[in-house]
């Protein structure tokens, strides 16, 4: 079967790469010797196959490498596998335990401040209106207790200053070194103090008792 132009075209790369069998190569070269068009095609393809590997490479921009590095440096997200063991280990982490304790303490103090009993908590206790009212009530109570405490202190100091004045008037020539002992309430002054205190409210009685106790402690 004679070698045709189509055969040449189909086996051209094999011919150029030296992959044709000897008899095929002979047949093809015989065809090329007598063909008007095939030798030109062979020359063109041979030239192309020689020149293509020697073509200068396209040069990428310098910043491309840095852009790729920047893009790939955070591209992979480590997917953490969640296991029960890991979950409980996370619960025992110091950071989590401390955070949980802080939250519990905050809730405890908040309940205390609002007058809510955690054991008997109801949905009504968590109603914002009720929470506000309870907070407002507690704030006023705290303020009132503060005011009462300051007033009681004032009464105590007043009583003590009166006692000092009575003692000073009873013994005007006493030696200065005995003054401290005289400052201590005598049985008579204690009785007068109690009489004075009877004219004040119950809280003042308590404060007066405290003052007596304090004075006794000085002896």
Partner 1 sequence: MRRHTRRVYNLAYRFTGNRQESEDLSQEVFLRLYRTLASYRAVHGEFTTWLTSVTRNLLIDHYRRTRRDRLTDSLDDEKSPAEHKASPGRRPDELASASELSEQVQSALQKISPELREAVILRDLQGLDYREIQQVLSVPEGTVKSRINRGRIELARLLSGMGVQPE
57 binds partner 1 (CB under 8 A): yes
6 binds partner 1 (CB under 8 A): no
Q: Mask: binding to partner 1, 7-46, rule CB under 8 A, as x and -?
A: --xxxxxx--------------------------x-xxxx
58 binds partner 1 (CB under 8 A): yes
Report DSSP letters for 120-145, one per residue.
G--GGGGSHHHHHHHHHHHHHHHHHH
Distance in angstroms (rounded) separating the CA atoms of residues 65 and 59: 12
191 binds partner 1 (CB under 8 A): no
Nearest CA among 171, 156, 155, 154 for reference residue 212? 156
CA atoms 100, 102, 108, 111: torsion sign: negative
Interacting residue with partner 1 among 4, 47, 188, 203 (CB under 8 A): 47
145 binds partner 1 (CB under 8 A): no
Taking the complex as a whole, the smallest distance from the CB of residue 13 to partner 1 amounts, in Å, to 4
Cβ atoms 135, 125 nearer than 8 A? no
123 binds partner 1 (CB under 8 A): no
Question: What residues contact 131, with CB distance under 8 A and at least 6 apart?
Answer: 114, 125
Residues that bind partner 1 (CB under 8 A): 9-14, 41, 43-53, 55-61, 64-65, 67-69, 71-72, 75-76
């Amino acid at each position: 079967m004679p070698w045709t132009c189509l055969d040449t075209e189909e086996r051209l790369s094999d011919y150029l790469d030296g992959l044709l069998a000897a008899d095929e190569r002979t047949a093809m070269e015989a065809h090329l010797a007598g063909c008007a068009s095939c030798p030109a095609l062979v020359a063109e393809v041979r030239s192309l196959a020689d020149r293509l590997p020697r073509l200068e490479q396209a040069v990428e921009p310098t910043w491309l490498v840095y852009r790729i590095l920047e893009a790939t440096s955070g591209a992979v997200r480590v997917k953490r596998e969640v296991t029960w063991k890991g979950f409980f280990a996370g619960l025992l982490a110091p950071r989590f335990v401390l955070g949980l304790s802080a939250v519990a303490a905050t809730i405890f103090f908040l309940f205390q401040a609002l007058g809510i009993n955690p054991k008997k908590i109801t949905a009504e206790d968590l109603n914002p209106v009720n929470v506000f009212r309870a907070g407002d009530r507690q704030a006023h109570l705290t303020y009132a207790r503060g005011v009462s405490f300051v007033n009681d202190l004032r009464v105590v100091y007043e009583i003590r200053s009166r006692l000092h004045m009575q003692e000073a008037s009873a013994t005007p020539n006493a030696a200065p070194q005995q003054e401290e002992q005289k400052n201590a309430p005598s049985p008579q002054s204690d009785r007068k103090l109690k009489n004075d205190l009877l004219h004040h409210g119950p809280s003042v009685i308590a404060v007066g008792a405290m003052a007596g106790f304090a004075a006794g402690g000085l002896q």
